[in-house]
Structure 1
Amino acid sequence: MDAAVHVRAKDRGRGVLEGAFALLEALRQHGDEAGVTELAVACGVPKSTAHRLLEQLVAMEAVERRGLRYRLGAQLYRLGQAWQPHPGLRAAGRLPLHRLRAATGGSVVLAVLRDERPLTVCSVPGRVEPLVPVRDGDTFALDTALGRALRGPVRGGAVLDREEVVAGVCCAALPVRSPAGAVVGAVAAMVEAGQRLDVVAGRVAEAAAGITRALSGTGTGIGSGGGNGARAVR
């Protein structure tokens, strides 16, 4: 796991909801099945408490048990699919992201800013997947191109990363705006070093404009780029 997940202590012990959500977060960080002992250690709760809460979560279909190991359940997936960071944003991003992936070969993401970190809400893996895996729900640091595009202000075109974060991987990112002009997210393409980033930036600008058009109901594809310029910001 990335780090131990701690439940805030209270005067009279740990709340049931706190403990349950800590276990869910520990399972998310683990990324696969985990045993009750490692989950209890990660959350800082007694093994008996972890087991009791996990079994309650199994009964609610929030967690699934396979033998002696646990993983996130289908009910959490269903609930997560209902969350919308901005009305219609995830649906608006699907086709432009797939076209961006096809045009660049890179791993592409649509993210929003949550808790001072870019949170991926839609993604399509590409050729750099072994170096930078992308999954819906993953977060990035603010000092990445994606983070800088979300944090803003972005003037003059795409924010570029030339192997500054991961060796062998470059990135171009741009904000995504609502039809009213507010920044509602950012789109990024992560590609292999050696690709022309100015060309990638142009494709990212087209994808961002396509998402804006889809939000307004006037189109869903990648077009001429709209109001998102492709000139690079380093």
Structure 2
Amino acid sequence: MDTGTGPRADGAEGTAAPGRAERGRGVLEGAFALLEALRRNGDETGVTELARACGVPKGSVHRLLDQLVAVGAVERRDSRYRVGPQLYRLGQAWEPHPGLRTAARLPLQHLRAVTGASVVLTVMRDDMAITVSSVPGDLEPLLPVRDGIAFRLDTAAGTALKGPLRGGAVLDREDVMDGVCCAALPVRTPDGRTVAALAALVPAGRGLDALARAVAGTGAALTRALARSGQRRPLPAAVLLP
């Protein structure tokens, strides 16, 4: 591990400048605070709004934004800013469980097609159910679903993530939001570990029993797809050596 000390080029022992690491952390924290503010806003935002949201002086916000624009993490249009393509590409590389998002793509689209539901796949992060894959359905625009949105753990998706459930889906009959019903089930690996929750959200008045059956079928298809993706993963090089 790099401790910040060691021999210098001239042969003398050197020590990192006092406070440099702390300043570096401060810059990173400020940059991520700006990115989070841009994400929450969901649209183009000005420097004044960002400074107010982050509690950072406008001059510092300008400097950080210039650096983030230079690396593609932020886009600038006139005097407004939004999340940039490089940050999107990096986010797409995150895989909460090996093969999960790839395995879910077709099953989620099929569930949307047969039910009309808005379909989300969530994982547990920081005491929230974070959406890692989504397909908008009939609830748009009442309840838009997008990758990255978070649900509380007292929702159907959160309940499905929290513990082992046997005997059927978690049903939400407008318990969390008026006009919205939901059926959710855990997504498990072939060895029984819960790695995600699958939830289908529909307008109130839809039959939840049929929706729960469709969610169960999609969850089973997703478990099979995860098993196939695990079988396709290559063995480590050390295992392949004679």
Both structures adopt the same fold (TM-score exceeding 0.5): yes
Q: Which residue of 1 aligns with 2:111?
A: 100
- CA 1:63–1:12 in structure 2 vs 1: closer, same or farther (change >3 Å)? closer
* Structure 2 unpaired stretches of 5+: 1-21, 230-242
Q: Residue type of the partner of 1:120?
A: T
Q: Which residue of 1 aligns with 2:213?
A: 202
Q: Which residue of 2 aligns with 1:25?
A: 36
Deviation at 1:155, TM superposition (A): 2.3
**Quick one: distance in 2 between partners of 1:91 and 1:169?**
28
Matched, 1:168 2:182: no
Matched, 1:184 2:195: yes
Runs of 4+ in 1 over 4 A off after TM superposition: 11-14
Matched, 1:15 2:26: yes
TM-superposition CA deviations, 1:140-171 (whole Å, max 9, x none): 01100000000123221100000111111100
Matched, 1:136 2:147: yes
TM-score (norm 2): 0.84
Root-mean-square deviation (Å): 1.6
Would you tell me which structure has more helix in proportion to its own residues? 2
Larger relative contact order (C-alpha < 8 A, sep ≥ 6)?
1
- Match of 1:213, SS? helix
- CA 1:58–1:159 in structure 2 vs 1: closer, same or farther (change >3 Å)? same
Give the counterpart of 1:40 among 51, 69, 73: 51
* Structure 1 unpaired stretches of 5+: 1-10, 219-234
TM-score (norm 1): 0.86
- CA 1:13–1:180 in structure 2 vs 1: closer, same or farther (change >3 Å)? closer
Identical positions, percent: 69
- CA 1:180–1:140 in structure 2 vs 1: closer, same or farther (change >3 Å)? same
Give the counterpart of 1:214 among 207, 210, 225: 225
Q: Which has the larger radius of gyration?
A: 2
Q: Which residue of 1 aligns with 2:137?
A: 126
Q: Which residue of 2 aligns with 1:75?
A: 86
